[in-house]
Chains A and B, each alone.
Chain A
């Protein structure tokens, strides 16, 4: 805009000023808009205040979270609360089993309260412990219970064991994972091992045998054949890696002869861990046979990748989604065998009153009966946890009919417990996962330096929990 003279320019500016007040938001208007837009400051809000003493309690000194027995169960001697981290089919099955428990006797009422996934329910337990109002029995994932152990909030279960429930009638590998020295703190429940899944049709098309590869090296040889195939106009990938978990990678570390840690001594920056990661990175970027997938199970079911490693628990979902014959096999070896276990178990909280703890153990005993373990396995695909479950007629039939279902059971005796850094350091898995993701997502990431950084953070964390760890495990 060209102004003819200064006066005109000034008057124009004046005009603009006056008009602009019309569209200028007033302070109140502005604040209103800001509030409406939800502007605020995020702060870690935390519950202040310590543990409150509950006078009514004869035992642990902590109160109980709210519980509301329905009419037909009201007035029982004792009410207990179980917090669960399992939604979906697993949640429904657990609810049904606990309902059966309530019907089976007349003294105890147990209520399952779903608290979100493992992360969320763990946060809620932390808050509950601070507030001093807790559930009596808590479902904790294998990588979560360690932190509660080290902070002395879990009840040793050894003294509760009896003829009905003890190591002899449990699957010993699974029982032992909850052992700390001589004492049991965590009772395996929804447990699984990873399986090697393969697409039988694609294997046949590529002229490969109908079995899983013996070793990673064999998978790579097969990869050369598989990647010749075309799916939807693209070359087929041989294998999909997950970036969401470090479970599979821990197995690979063992298979390449290493460990993530020995006790709390971090070993991820040397030996088998580095070898495994370098091998995987080459498999992805140089060989161009594998990739980091958002959800390997979905990709596999859609037929765009020939193999992946996933939980036994994924079997049902894969069956439902896949339009081809699904095969499962033991995990590949390389220089050694490596089979981890995963999933959840139950712990009883030390802070609950004694009678509540006794009642909670009765519930665990009920869930561990062979017929109930079999129901649980049939519905969810998790492993049978007690001896005798696999002999229950329905489950026996299923194991017999579907070889895929029994692979996990057969593989289980070879399983070994998780490396300690992963179980006891609260963000152990998160740090390891971040490292793996970096390597799987970039061909230029230097494995040694990525894992050196991860190891440094893990060591700092290990230092923080070392004293507590030593109290339970010795130096």
Chain B
């Protein structure tokens, strides 16, 4: 406790020291200030150049492999190009117009929304529930935690192949489990009504362990005294959970929401292995659609336009979350 106070005090002091030089006012002082700034610039120029020099390898790498592709992609989205013929042909907003008016693309967006929404909410709720469970003093807790986390580190292709066996209506585990109840196993991945559901189940299964561990870390760094206080106040376990645990966990919730939303929007691997976007386009999400247009249809322009739409969606989502987090999540 004492050391914590001390570090907080140190922080305040160092924080106050920085803006001290800026407290001047009045004309002469301002000129003086400008002069001082120039001198300071001259003095610091060397340092500044060194700073840029040290930064440049990263800037070049990020510029080349992050920003340039984004910019080039934006350009491609305004063209028609099959990636074989010489040059992309400028078509303006044709690709966007096509996407926004195509009923096929509306279905794709519905799939994406349904898939992302369910997986995100599902992983947060289940992940939290698991974390609370793992936080209890139960026997074999370490083993269970490891087991729950394991799917996260297994490759998506392997997980997908495994689940294809489980979902097989003829000789899969799904049939073994459902048969005793006299229920016929659905044809999970080859039935339009079940295919998206099966993908959701698999993505949840793979992702929830990671979320649980992140939540668990949050739960374990909870201050005991708040809970003691709540206990003294006579709060029941549900009230404690709702009024203390949940609010205190909100930064963690924010974090897992951001990565699950981004991750789910980008989901590709297990879709590729399990359904290939089918049957029909029942499991075609935006990211799969981008692949389909770009690399199966050799329609770089339309694929790029899809990628720009995904880019904008993720930008908006991230923006909203940042805004939300400033108002609701930080307890500062």
Is the C-beta of A34 less than 8 angstroms from some C-beta in chain B? yes
0/1 string, B299-325, CB within 8 A of A gives 1: 110011001001100100000000000
Q: Which residue of chain A has the shortest Cβ distance to B230 in the bound complex?
A: A1
Q: How far is the CA of A292 from the CA of B281 in the complex (A)?
A: 15
A 21-59 to B, binary, CB cutoff 8 A, 1 in contact else 0? 111110000100110011111111110101000000000
Q: Is B43 an interface residue (CB 8 A)?
A: no
Bound Cα distance A19, B249 (Å): 11
| Pairwise interchain contact A39-B259, C-beta atoms closer than 8 A | yes
| A168 interface hit (Cβ, 8 Å) | no
Alpha-carbon distance A151/B86, docked complex (angstroms): 9
Q: Does B47 contact A (CB under 8 A)?
A: no
Given contacts A1-B239, A148-B84, contact A22 B223 (CB under 8 A): yes
Task: Select from chain B the residue with minimum beta-carbon distance to A430.
Answer: B296
**CA–CA, A430 and B295, complex, Å:** 11
Name the one of A42, A123, A244 contacting B287, with C-beta atoms under 8 angstroms: A42
B295 touches A291 (CB 8 A): no
**Inter-chain contacts of B276 with A (CB < 8 A):** 244
Whether A394 sits at the interface, judged by CB under 8 Å, is: no
In the complex, what residues of B have CB within 8 A of residue A233's CB? 179
Q: Quick check: is B330 within 8 A (CB to CB) of the other chain?
A: yes
**Nearest CB on B from A455, distance (A):** 13
Q: Is A166 an interface residue (CB 8 A)?
A: no
Q: Is residue B170 within 8 Å, beta carbon to beta carbon, of the partner chain?
A: yes
Q: Mark A91-127, 1 if CB is under 8 A from B, else 0.
A: 0000000000000000000000000000100010010
Give the CA-CA distance A105 to B304 in the complex, in Å: 48
- Give min CB distance, A18 to chain B, whole Å: 8
One digit per residue, 1 when the CB lies within 8 angstroms of any chain A CB and 0 when it does not, for chain B 204-227 equals: 000000000000001001110110
Inter-chain contacts of A45 with B (CB < 8 A) = 69, 73
Is A20 in contact with B83, judged by CB distance below 8 angstroms?
Answer: no
Contact partners of B184 in chain A: CB under 8 A: 234
B135 proximal to A (CB < 8 A): no
Cα distance A19–B83 when bound, in Å? 56
Which residues of chain B from 86 to 129 have a CB within 8 Å of any chain A CB?
A: 86-87, 103-104
Which one of B179, B187, B280, B294 has the greatest number of beta carbons of chain A within 10 Å?
B280
Q: How far is the CB of B104 from chain A (nearest CB, A)?
A: 7
User: Would B244 and A16 count as touching, CB distance under 8 A?
Assistant: yes
B279 touches A16 (CB 8 A): no
CA distance A438 to B310 in the complex (A): 26
- Segment from B19-27, B30-38, B136-144, B250-258 that makes contact with A: B250-258
Bound-complex Cα distance A294 to B170 (A): 11
Interface size on A, residues (CB 8 A): 67
Q: A48 CA to B164 CA in the complex, in Å?
A: 38
Which residues of A lie under 8 Å from residue B195 when comparing CB positions? 441
Residues A427 and B299 in contact in the complex (CB < 8 Å), given A33-B255, A441-B190: yes
CB within 8 A of B82: which of A20, A426, A442, A445?
A: A426
Of chain B, the residue at the smallest CB distance from A427 is B297
The answer to whether A441 touches B279 (Cβ under 8 A) is yes
Q: Which B residues are CB-close (under 8 A) to A1?
A: 230, 233, 235, 239-240, 243-244
Given A16-B331, A119-B295, A147-B298, are A129 and B258 neighbors across the interface (CB < 8 Å)?
Answer: no
Q: How far is the CA of A37 from the CA of B211 in the complex (A)?
A: 11
Tell me, rounded to whole Å, the shortest Cβ–Cβ distance linking A79 to chain B: 26
A437 within 8 A of B: yes
**Across the interface, do A37 and B279 meet the contact criterion of CB distance under 8 Å?**
no
Interface flag for A17 (CB, 8 Å): yes
Taking a contact as CB atoms under 8 Å apart, the answer to whether A302 and B290 are in contact is no
Contact status of A123 and B295, CB under 8 A, knowing A15-B229, A19-B248, A292-B190:
yes
Interface residue A440 (Cβ < 8 Å from any Cβ of B): yes
A130–B87 alpha-carbon span in the complex (Å): 10
Q: Is B76 an interface residue (CB 8 A)?
A: yes
* A426–B297 CB distance below 8 A: yes
Task: Return A264 CB to nearest CB of chain B, in Å.
Answer: 16
Give every chain B residue within 8 A of A292 (Cβ-Cβ): 187, 190-191, 279
Q: Which of A21, A22, A39, A244 contacts B262 (CB 8 A)?
A: A39
Is the CB of A304 closer than 8 A to any CB of chain B? yes
Is B84 a contact partner of A153 (Cβ separation < 8 A)? yes
Closest B residue to A457 using CB positions = B104
Q: Report how far A20 CA is from B245 CA in the complex, Å.
A: 10
Q: Which of B266-307 contact A (CB under 8 A)?
A: 266, 268, 276-282, 287, 290, 292, 294-300, 303-304, 307
A435 to B104, CA, bound (A): 12
CA distance A135 to B240 in the complex (A): 67
Per the bound structure, the CA–CA distance linking A129 and B298 in Å amounts to 14
Bound-state Cα–Cα, A450 to B104, Å: 11
- How many angstroms from the CA of A21 to the CA of B266 in the assembled complex? 32
- Asked if B247 is at the interface (CB within 8 A of a chain A CB), the reply is yes
Annotate A1-20 by CB proximity to B: 1 below 8 A, 0 otherwise: 11100000000100111011
CA distance A40 to B65 in the complex (A): 12
Who on chain A is nearest to B247 by CB? A16
**Contacting residues, chain A, for B179 (C-beta < 8 A):** 233
B263 in the interface (beta carbon within 8 A): yes
Given A43-B73, A437-B280: A442 touches B331 (CB 8 Å cut-off): no
List of A residues within 8 angstroms of B258 by Cβ: 34, 39
CB of A441 within 8 A of CB of B255, answer no
Q: Which of B69, B234, B280, B297 contacts A2 (CB 8 A)?
A: B234
CB <8 Å contact, B190 and A126 = no
Q: Which of A23, A151, A435 has the most CB of B within 10 A?
A: A23
Q: Does A392 contact B (CB under 8 A)?
A: no
**Contact indicator B259/A294 (Cβ below 8 Å):** no
- Given A1-B240, A23-B251: A438 touches B299 (CB 8 Å cut-off): no
- Assess whether B297 is in contact with A20, with CB atoms less than 8 Å apart: no
Residues of chain B contacted by A434 (CB below 8 angstroms):
277-278, 280-281
Which of chain B's residues has its CB closest to A19's CB? B223
Cβ–Cβ contact B83 & A46, under 8 A: yes
User: Within 8 Å CB of A291, what residues of B?
Assistant: 187, 190
Q: List 15 interface pairs A-B (beta carbons < 8 Å), by A numbering.
A: A1-B233, A23-B249, A24-B330, A43-B311, A126-B84, A126-B298, A232-B171, A292-B190, A426-B82, A433-B278, A437-B278, A437-B279, A440-B279, A441-B187, A441-B282
The interface of chain A, by Cβ under 8 A from chain B, is 1-3, 12, 15-17, 19-25, 30, 33-34, 37-46, 48, 50, 119, 123, 126, 129-130, 147-148, 151, 153, 232-234, 243-244, 291-294, 299, 302, 304, 426-427, 430, 433-435, 437-438, 440-442, 445, 450, 453, 457, 461, 464
Q: A-B pairs with the 4 shortest C-beta distances?
A: A438-B280, A427-B297, A441-B279, A437-B279
Given contacts A15-B229, A37-B263, A426-B299, 20 further A-B contacts (CB under 8 A): A22-B221, A23-B222, A25-B255, A40-B262, A44-B76, A44-B307, A46-B69, A151-B82, A153-B84, A243-B190, A243-B278, A299-B170, A302-B171, A434-B277, A434-B281, A438-B279, A440-B279, A441-B192, A453-B104, A464-B80
